[in-house]
A and B are shown apart, each in its own frame.
Chain A
């Protein structure tokens, strides 16, 4: 199971990566924004993306992915916590949503939920 983590914060990528490794997922690739992620997302079995990023934000990235791949599970991991944001993300093809800050347990639950 290969994970793609998309976040412009290297700190956050590292935190997510460590949490995933801890729950047994070792195969992880990374991208710093939506544009970079578009080049490699085909390799991934599941995508975890931030919303607010330079060059191409997470929502735009999700829209792009969905034009090419309807099946790959996508988890949005973001500080945007407004209800409208969550609804908008879901409308555009996000499968589940995590608000930062999050616990490793939450990450585990959400990952398991989208992989079911």
Chain B
């Protein structure tokens, strides 16, 4: 008789206990964290999609494992019912008992069918995974195309990324000030600005005016435009001011 004792049942359900389930979940999370580190090299979005796919596959397998354990228990129970039924088959006093066993057997089969259907339904995971792979492939091709079109990823990051993230956005805070400067340019005398000649004190209304050069459009001109002749005097002024601080 293929009958389960308590030890067999405990062994089967031990894998399904909450603590065991949590332990397996922890292991899964750890392994996914390791994969996350590895996926950074693949690129953020593609790496994340790859992890979604792996996470979903690992999770599906975990659930399928539990369902298979349930199927094993059902199979053992069916076998047990069959054996008991055989033993009481010729006993006329056991007809109601046999009827109950038959009812239990039918229920076991119904549960088994439902579990198989649930397991078949997990095909969605593989189909979803393949769709994700197509998205990842397309993103990868797009990345390659953009790299060819705009230059290497690294140089692009150096050229634009830092400017956008660390400068332009910060400067947006000072937008009002920038607008004021632009307005000043619009109303200023187009005469070129010249640096204040040394020695200090710092230029004031009494200091000689800086000779002006024609200003470029504000969008490409962060400050007054100077020529090389003015550079030395600006440096000297700066040095003198620094000494004075």
A pairs with B: yes
Listed in ascending order, the chain A residues whose CB lies under 8 Å from chain B are 7, 9-12, 14-15, 18-19, 22, 52, 79, 100-104
Contacts of A100 in B (CB 8 A): 123, 126-127
How many Cβ-Cβ contacts under 8 Å join chain A to chain B? 47
B61:A11 contact, CB within 8 angstroms: yes
Q: How large is the interface on B (under 10, 10 to 19, 20 to 34, 35 or more residues)?
A: 10 to 19
**Cβ-based interface call for B130 (8 A):** yes
Whether A79 lies near B127 (C-beta < 8 A) is: yes
CB proximity to A under 8 Å, residues B123-146? 123-127, 129-130, 133
A19 touches B126 (CB 8 A): no
* Cβ B122 vs Cβ A19 within 8 A: no
- Chain B: interface secondary structure? helix
Whole-angstrom distance between the alpha carbons of A60 and B98 in the complex? 56
B79 interface residue per 8 A CB criterion: no
Residues of chain A contacted by B68 (CB below 8 angstroms): 18
Closest to B64 in A: A14
B119 contacts chain A at the CB level, 8 A cutoff = yes
Are A9 and B120 interface neighbours, CB within 8 A? Answer: no
Contact A9 B116, CB 8 Å, known A100-B123, A101-B127: no
**A9 and B57 in contact, given A15-B119, A18-B119 (Cβ under 8 angstroms):** yes
